[in-house]
């Protein structure tokens, strides 16, 4: 069971992405012109999504993949193109409607979009799990427990991102506070990499697993770090 702080933050995130920022995210994840700030976020997210896809097998035929916090479904679509059976979960029904509208007709049967909690065990087991920028809004302890719950239902690999605690990121968030609210992302919870690794190591669910590749991407107002978990 997730903590009260996880449940509280989950509600805040759902409200933001489903109501306040749905239109902004529709533009951000399209080819439409955006502000300079959002252009850096778009570029950073594109780089991160491509990184996580590169860490997955080129051929996903017959494999089941969870896109945890899928948003408009861009990663889900690419995974389906590789042959994966994708379960794409997000808190925002509005963003899921956008994802359904964007999916190519020949891939529609390969992706199941579901509104709900990405950590729900009702979605079953997976070969691969991807959680791109969906855990960065939670406290480090809650994020580690969330990853532990996901890895317990994963057989091949789990890749997720976190917000690394750096001086540059702290400065960007301070400066960002002076920009219009429409250009701000929801608050994130930066964490030092060594702290997160320690929290992961302390979770019993990670027995038999090890950390693999990692990559930090910093483009303008986007900073995020990917971490891979694989069986030992």
The pLDDT assigned to 115 comes to 97
First to last CA, the chain: 26
As a whole number of angstroms, the distance between CA 70 and CA 49 comes to 11
Predicted local distance difference test score (pLDDT) of residue 1: 54
Q: Which residues contact 52 (CB under 8 A, 6 or more apart)?
A: 75, 130, 132, 159, 161, 226
Per-domain residue ranges of the chain: 4-231
Give residue 177's pLDDT.
55
Q: For position 182, what pLDDT does the model report?
A: 47
Contacts of 166 (CB under 8 A, 6+ apart): 190, 223
Q: What are phi and psi of 112, to 5 degrees?
A: -110, 115
pLDDT score for 176: 53
Superfamily of domain 4-231 in the CATH hierarchy: Vaccinia Virus protein VP39 (3.40.50.150)
Q: Report residue 219 CA to chain centroid gap.
A: 17
If you search the block for the tokens 């990499």, which residue do you land on? 193
pLDDT for res 168:
62
What is the overall mean pLDDT for the chain?
91
Strand partners, 207: none
Say if CB 111 and CB 88 are below 8 A apart.
Answer: yes
pLDDT means over runs of 10, the chain (232 residues): 84 85 88 92 97 98 98 97 98 96 95 97 98 96 96 98 81 54 64 96 94 96 96 96
């Amino acid at each position: 069971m997730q903590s009260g702080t996880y449940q509280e933050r989950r509600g805040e995130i759902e409200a933001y992405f489903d109501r306040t920022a749905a239109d902004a995210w529709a533009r951000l994840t399209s080819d439409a012109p955006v502000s300079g700030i959002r252009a850096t976020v778009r570029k950073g997210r594109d780089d991160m999504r491509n990184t996580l896809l590169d860490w997955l097998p080129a051929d996903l035929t017959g494999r089941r993949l969870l896109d945890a916090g899928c948003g408009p479904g861009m990663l889900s679509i690419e995974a389906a193109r590789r042959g994966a059976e994708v379960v794409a979960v997000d808190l925002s029904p509005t963003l899921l409607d956008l994802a359904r509208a964007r999916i190519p007709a020949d891939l529609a049967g390969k992706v199941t979009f579901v509104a709900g909690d990405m950590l729900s065990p009702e979605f079953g087991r997976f070969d691969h799990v991807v959680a791109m920028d969906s855990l960065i809004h939670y406290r480090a302890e809650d994020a580690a427990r969330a990853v532990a719950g996901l890895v317990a239902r994963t057989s091949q690999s789990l890749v997720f991102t976190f917000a690394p605690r750096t001086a540059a990121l702290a400065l960007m968030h301070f400066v960002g506070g002076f920009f219009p609210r429409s250009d701000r992302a929801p608050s994130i919870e930066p964490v030092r990499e060594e702290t997160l690794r320690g929290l992961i190591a302390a979770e019993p669910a990670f027995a038999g697993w090890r950390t693999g590749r990692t990559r930090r991407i910093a483009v303008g107002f986007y900073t995020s770090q990917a971490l891979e978990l694989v069986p030992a």
